[in-house]
Amino acid sequence: MAPAFEIQLIAAVTAAACAILGTFLVLRGMAMMSDAISHTVLLGIVLTFMLVRDLKSPFLIVGAALVGLLTVGLTEALNRTRLVKQDAAIGLVFPALFSIAVILISRFARGVHLDNDAVLLGELAFAPFDRTIFLGMDLPHSLVVMGQVLILNWLMVRLFFKELKLATFDAGLAAALGFSPVLIHYALMGLVSVTAVGAFEAVGSILLVGLMVAPPATAYLLTDKLERMLGLSVIIGAGSAVGGYWLARSLDANIAGSITTVIGIVFVLTFLLAPRRGVLAIWRRRERQRYDFAQTMLTIHLFSHEGSPDYAYESQVMHLQEHLRWDQEFASEVVHRAQAAQWVQRDNGNLNLTEAGREQARAAIEY
């Protein structure tokens, strides 16, 4: 495989692995835990490395996952003391653990390929150089690792889909039915930790947060079904990963940064243009409702003056400005729309209700 293709494959596989878990993080309001865990797994990696002295050892994943769980546990213990709030608990635990990791690296692991920049930023461009023989194939190490993580995440979500869904949307019912929400919570956080370790080398912790949170959040603006949200997140994540690679290539810039940039653009576009929940859709809905309301007002106004001596005066288009406090532009637009709906007919400067318009006014008044 060509290195360029391999890089895109690694990025897409990582994005998919993250999106699967991220969907549940976003729905459960635990998005920032991915930020905390993605930083603290570094401590697990450093501590395990100091014991085994091998950066490829599988124990690194175990150690890092344990520290990931420790992060969650410490945060919750701190929260339970009720001395600090949940958000402050996260904000206290992870910088402390991360700082310890940074200091340990600078004191005891210097010269090893384990530097802070790489952990934060990742260098996907170098991923194809680090190779492993897997099932007789010569593959990039990161691809093998992230492929396994993706399969693990997919299997776990697949197997425990019912439980996860229930614990996410109705933790109380889950507990009443005998599924422990705590167990599910820690299992999910364990998977996040494993994913973070697997990904840290290739994509770095910040992109990890981006891949975990942004694609599911984007998908959440597009659908109300969990299954569809999962699928969309994977597609958005993997698509952005490939798009980001090409952006990075054209700018000769960092790949992880470019991928998050693309994800950000996708999110902003969705935020603006999503069919039902986008800013534009909301604005158009409001605008339509404004005119619908105004048209009904117009029919009621005419209806209430019908047959009275001042009708000739009240039914003038010019008068609407005064009586209904509409500006000229708005008034003529409303009249135009009401004519199109065949609720009123225009007779020179005067308006007359049609039978449909009268019906509309009556319905609105009686309602």
Partner 1 sequence: MSIGELFSLLITDHTIRTVAFGTAILGVVSGALGAFAVLRRQALLGDALSHAALPGVALAFMLTGQKTPAVLMIGAAIVGIMAILLLSAVTRVTRLKEDSVLGIILSVFFGFGLMLLTFLQRNPDARQAGLNTFLFGQAATLLTRDVLTMAAFGLPALVILAIFWKEFKLLSFDREFGSSLGFPMRGLDTALTSLLVVAVVIGLQAVGVVLMSAMLVAPGAAARQWTDRLSHMVLISALFGAIAGVAGALISSLGNGLSTGPVIVIVVSVIVVISLFFAPNRGLFWRRLRIWRNRRRYQAETVLLDFYRMAAQHADATQPHPIAALLAIRPGAQFGLDVLASRDLARPDSEGNWRLTPAGVAEAELLESGFANENGVTE
Q: Which is nearer to partner 1, 214 or 361 (CB)?
A: 214
Query: What gap in Å lies between CA 26 and CA 19, rounded to an integer?
Result: 10
In the complex, least distance from residue 262 CB atom to partner 1, rounded to whole angstroms: 9
Q: Which is nearer to partner 1, 160 or 271 (CB)?
A: 271
Q: Which is nearer to partner 1, 82 or 325 (CB)?
A: 82
Contact between residue 39 and residue 97 where contact means Cβ atoms under 8 Å apart: yes
C-alpha neighbours within 13 Å on the C-beta side of residue 214: 26
How many Å separate Cα 175 from the centre of its chain? 27
Q: Which is nearer to partner 1, 117 or 138 (CB)?
A: 117
Q: Which is nearer to partner 1, 120 or 300 (CB)?
A: 120
Q: Which is nearer to partner 1, 50 or 279 (CB)?
A: 279
In the complex, least distance from residue 85 CB atom to partner 1, rounded to whole angstroms: 6
In the complex, least distance from residue 242 CB atom to partner 1, rounded to whole angstroms: 16
In the complex, least distance from residue 2 CB atom to partner 1, rounded to whole angstroms: 22
Contact between residue 21 and residue 78 where contact means Cβ atoms under 8 Å apart: no
Return the sign of the alpha-carbon dihedral for residues 166, 168, 174, 180. Answer: positive
Contact between residue 109 and residue 50 where contact means Cβ atoms under 8 Å apart: yes
CB environment 333-349: b (16+ within 10 A), e (fewer): ebbebbbeeebbeeeee
In the complex, least distance from residue 214 CB atom to partner 1, rounded to whole angstroms: 5
Query: What gap in Å lies between CA 50 and CA 43, rounded to an integer?
Result: 11
In the complex, least distance from residue 76 CB atom to partner 1, rounded to whole angstroms: 15
What is the phi/psi pair of residue 163, to 5°? -65, -45
Planar angle of CA 273, 238, 36, nearest 5 degrees: 90
CB environment 118-142: b (16+ within 10 A), e (fewer): ebbbbebbebbeeeeeeeeeebbbb
In the complex, least distance from residue 240 CB atom to partner 1, rounded to whole angstroms: 11
Binding site for partner 1 (CB under 8 A): 26, 29-32, 34-35, 39, 78, 81, 83-85, 87-88, 90-92, 95-96, 98-100, 102-103, 106-107, 110, 116-117, 120-121, 206-207, 209-210, 212-214, 216-217, 220-221, 247-248, 251-254, 256-261, 263-264, 267, 271, 277, 279, 282
In the complex, least distance from residue 49 CB atom to partner 1, rounded to whole angstroms: 18
Q: Which is nearer to partner 1, 6 or 35 (CB)?
A: 35
Torsion of CA 325, 329, 335, 339, to 10 degrees: -170
Q: Which is nearer to partner 1, 79 or 339 (CB)?
A: 79
DSSP characters for 183-198? HHHHHHHHHHHHHHHH
